[in-house]
């Protein structure tokens, strides 16, 4: 099978297209023909060796945690799937090795898979797992947003932020989102009230919500919470997907949870959740896809695999 691998740490330049044997499947794993794999900033960090002290790595590595594809062969202990079923998966492993999503075939633990939303094509569906789980777990579990509350989302047009906006709106929450002006129309289409980044952001939020936000989700980092502290009411619940160890701020880490992933599928099929795809690339241009991801292009970068 064709696959993208890296044999040493580095940037997009270390990626190479190669031929590898078809992956083996265990009794509780499923062989998937990958149709699309979404890229995430975590892919670049791991590939650069940023977590070498914490994550075991065995070269060559096939990168990519988010996939959408078709079941080729289910394992003996996976009766929930049959050949031809369309699925999505968050296939992050405990170690980095040749089992990622940038390949024609992948063997995935059945616990990492759920059926693909019927309302999404493969490229959109591939962009859902990591960003969707992070957004869902932040909004529903960590912050427990409630109907009638006002939520401020920093980086509301990004991969996680845009999904958090939609999930919060589906729960009857008023959402104010910070974003660059070019993305304001997009936020309005999601049901959010946009405000611009930069000096005066807290005042602009207070113009819309004089008593301040009840809940704040930071999807940007870089000190944005400190810079806009006046946008939140006293006692507001605050979480961040980027900041760790900040007093009063709960960090959010994505965890594989098949029930949460299935809930995202239900949101999508109810028309309440959409994934914005910024660009797609063929497998042989995976390095270009990583370069595009590094530019901060709004929306998901997806590698499509024939």
Residues 157 and 108 in one domain: no
Residues 56 and 111 in one domain: yes
273-279 mean pLDDT? 97
The answer as to whether 70 is a domain residue is yes
The answer as to whether 269 is a domain residue is no
pLDDT over 90 (residue 62): yes
Please tell me the predicted confidence (pLDDT) of residue 204. 97
Please state, for a pLDDT cut of 90, what percent of the chain lies above it. 93
User: Residues 76, 126: contact at Cβ < 8 Å?
Assistant: no
User: Residues 246, 240: contact at Cβ < 8 Å?
Assistant: yes
Residues 118 and 213 in one domain: no
- The string of pLDDT tens digits covering residues 174-225 is 999 999 999 999 999 999 999 998 899 999 999 999 999 999 999 999 999 9
**Rounded to 5 degrees, what are φ and ψ at 269?**
-70, -20
The number of distinct structural domains making up the chain is 2
- The string of pLDDT tens digits covering residues 103-156 is 999 999 999 999 999 999 999 999 999 999 999 999 999 999 999 999 999 999
Would you call 128 helix, strand, or coil by DSSP? coil
Other beta carbons within 10 angstroms of residue 128's beta carbon come to 30
- In angstroms, rounded to a whole number, what is the distance separating the alpha carbons of residues 70 and 260? 21
CATH label of the domain that carries residue 202: 3.40.50.720
pLDDT over 80 (residue 96): no
Q: Which of 236, 251, 266 is at the close of a domain?
A: 251
- In angstroms, rounded to a whole number, what is the distance separating the alpha carbons of residues 267 and 269? 6
Q: Which domain holds residue 218?
A: 131-251
Residues 145 and 247 in one domain: yes
Residues 7 and 45 in one domain: yes
CATH label of the domain that carries residue 39: 3.90.180.10
69-76 mean pLDDT? 97
The answer as to whether 259 is a domain residue is no
62-84 mean pLDDT? 97
Please tell me the predicted confidence (pLDDT) of residue 97. 79
Other beta carbons within 10 angstroms of residue 274's beta carbon come to 18
Q: What is the mean pLDDT of the chain?
A: 96
* DSSP track, 157-225: TSHHHHHHHHHHHHTT-EEEEEE-GGGHHHHHHHT-EEEE-STTHHHHHHHH-TT-EEEEEESS-TTHH
- The string of pLDDT tens digits covering residues 37-57 is 999 999 999 999 998 988 889
């Amino acid at each position: 099978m064709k696959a993208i691998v890296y044999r040493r740490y580095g940037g997009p330049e270390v990626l190479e297209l190669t031929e590898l044997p078809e992956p083996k499947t265990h009794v509780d794993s499923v062989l998937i023909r990958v149709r699309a794999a979404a890229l995430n900033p975590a892919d670049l960090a791991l590939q650069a060796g940023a977590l070498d002290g914490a994550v075991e790595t065995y070269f060559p590595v096939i990168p990519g945690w988010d996939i959408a594809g078709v079941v080729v062969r289910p394992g003996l202990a996976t009766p929930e799937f049959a050949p031809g079923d369309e699925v999505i998966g968050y296939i992050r492993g405990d170690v980095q090795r040749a089992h990622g999503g940038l390949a024609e075939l992948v063997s995935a633990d059945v616990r990492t898979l759920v059926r693909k939303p019927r309302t999404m094509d493969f490229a959109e569906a591939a962009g859902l797992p990591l960003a969707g789980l992070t957004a869902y777990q932040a909004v529903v579990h960590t912050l427990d947003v409630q109907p009638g509350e006002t939520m401020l989302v920093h980086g509301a047009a990004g991969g996680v932020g845009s999904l958090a906006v939609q999930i919060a709106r589906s729960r009857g929450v008023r959402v104010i989102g910070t974003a660059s002006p070019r993305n304001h129309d997009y936020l309005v289409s999601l049901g959010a009230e946009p405000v611009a980044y930069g000096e005066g952001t807290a005042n602009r939020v207070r113009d819309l919500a004089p008593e301040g936000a009840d809940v704040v989700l930071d999807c940007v980092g870089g000190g944005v919470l400190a810079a806009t502290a006046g946008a939140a009411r006293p006692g507001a619940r605050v979480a961040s997907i980027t900041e760790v160890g900040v007093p009063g701020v709960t960090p959010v880490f994505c965890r594989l949870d098949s029930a949460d992933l299935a809930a995202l599928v239900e949101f999508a099929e109810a028309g309440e959740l959409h994934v914005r795809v910024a660009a797609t690339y063929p497998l042989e241009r995976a390095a270009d896809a990583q370069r595009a991801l590094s530019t901060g292009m709004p929306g998901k970068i997806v590698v499509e695999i024939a």
